[in-house]
């Protein structure tokens, strides 16, 4: 597969979610997203107005994360956060499913959370991406069940990861759990034709990006946007 840097940019949600990000770094990130004309800039809900002011004269959508990164608040609180973000100028919402309920197989609670968030997002004219946090869900069957729930509720996207989940590695150090080839393949297979897939977490190179696009991902979440697109620009096969 070959894609021009401009075509590749349309797959990318440029993430500005680091807790240490300063205002000047945030503004620079917005300008980077605008300069490359990516699909969306993905920001904390508190930053939606600032992002919208910078993106309103461009094709770049504003995507707000809600319930991020652990979905620990009650559903009605997360829905209110989503509503505020959409009123402030976001057109896309990335919301984390409650992993505790997922791992407890409380499918009624999971469906209620996802359904309420999707209804609230659609009510304001937005689209919802549900973050499954696939790296910390050990069961394939559980991931398939989540895909079925999102598909049946007509959610726009399922997304692999927040990029902030960690597990202990073999040497005792923390390992960030992100997108993987098996997980993206599984989501593409089971989410259905109307529920697209966003791969996110650990996507840092052109090869990473093209691998997930080949598998069927329709969006990529990354902080390495410029590195990936400069790599594409320098690759003769993409021209």
Q: Which of 94, 143, 183, 208 does the annotation list as catalytic?
A: 94
- Please list the alpha-helical segments (H only) found in the chain: 5-9, 23-36, 48-55, 75-87, 99-103, 107-123, 140-152, 181-191, 206-215, 225-234
H or E stretch at 196: strand 196-200
Is there a contact between 83 and 124 (Cβ–Cβ < 8 Å)?
A: yes
Residue with tokens 């920001």: 43
Cα–Cα distance between 206 and 199 in angstroms, integer? Answer: 14
To the query of whether residue 129 is one of the catalytic residues in this protein, the response is no
Cα–Cα distance between 92 and 219 in angstroms, integer? Answer: 12
Cα–Cα distance between 237 and 206 in angstroms, integer? Answer: 12
Beta-carbon count within 10 A of 6 CB: 13
Structure tokens given for 90: 């976001």
CA 118 from chain centre, in angstroms, equals 15
- The SS3 call for residue 40 is strand
Beta-carbon count within 10 A of 15 CB: 26
To the query of whether residue 183 is one of the catalytic residues in this protein, the response is no
Kindly list the distances between the CA atom of residue 92 and the CA atoms of 77, 87, 117, 143, 229, in Å, as whole numbers in the listed order: 18, 11, 12, 23, 23
To the query of whether residue 198 is one of the catalytic residues in this protein, the response is yes
- Backbone φ and ψ of 38, nearest 5°: -75, 175
Q: Which of 13, 159, 183, 208 does the annotation list as catalytic?
A: 159
Which positions are catalytic? 94, 159, 198
């Amino acid at each position: 597969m070959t894609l021009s840097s401009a075509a590749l940019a349309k797959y990318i949600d440029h993430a500005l979610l680091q807790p240490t990000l300063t205002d000047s770094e945030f503004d620079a990130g917005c300008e980077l997203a605008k300069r490359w004309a990516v699909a969306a800039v993905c920001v904390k809900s508190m930053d939606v107005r600032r992002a919208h002011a910078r993106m309103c004269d461009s094709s770049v959508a504003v995507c707000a994360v809600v319930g991020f990164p652990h979905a620990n608040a009650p559903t009605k609180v997360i829905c209110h956060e989503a509503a505020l973000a959409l009123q402030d100028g976001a057109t896309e919402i990335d919301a984390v499913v409650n992993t505790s309920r997922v791992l407890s197989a409380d499918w009624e609670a999971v469906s209620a959370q996802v359904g309420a968030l999707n209804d609230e997002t659609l009510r304001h004219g937005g689209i919802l991406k549900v973050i499954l946090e696939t790296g910390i869900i050990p069961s394939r069957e559980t991931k398939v069940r989540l895909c079925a729930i999102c598909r049946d509720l007509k959610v726009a996207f399922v997304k692999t990861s927040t990029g902030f989940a960690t597990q202990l590695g073999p040497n005792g150090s923390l390992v960030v759990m992100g997108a993987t080839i098996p997980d993206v393949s599984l989501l593409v297979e089971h989410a259905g034709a109307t529920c697209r897939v966003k791969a996110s977490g650990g996507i840092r190179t052109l090869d990473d990006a093209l691998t997930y696009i080949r598998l069927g991902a329709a969006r990529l979440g990354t902080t390495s946007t410029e590195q990936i697109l400069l790599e594409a620009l320098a690759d003769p096969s993409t021209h």
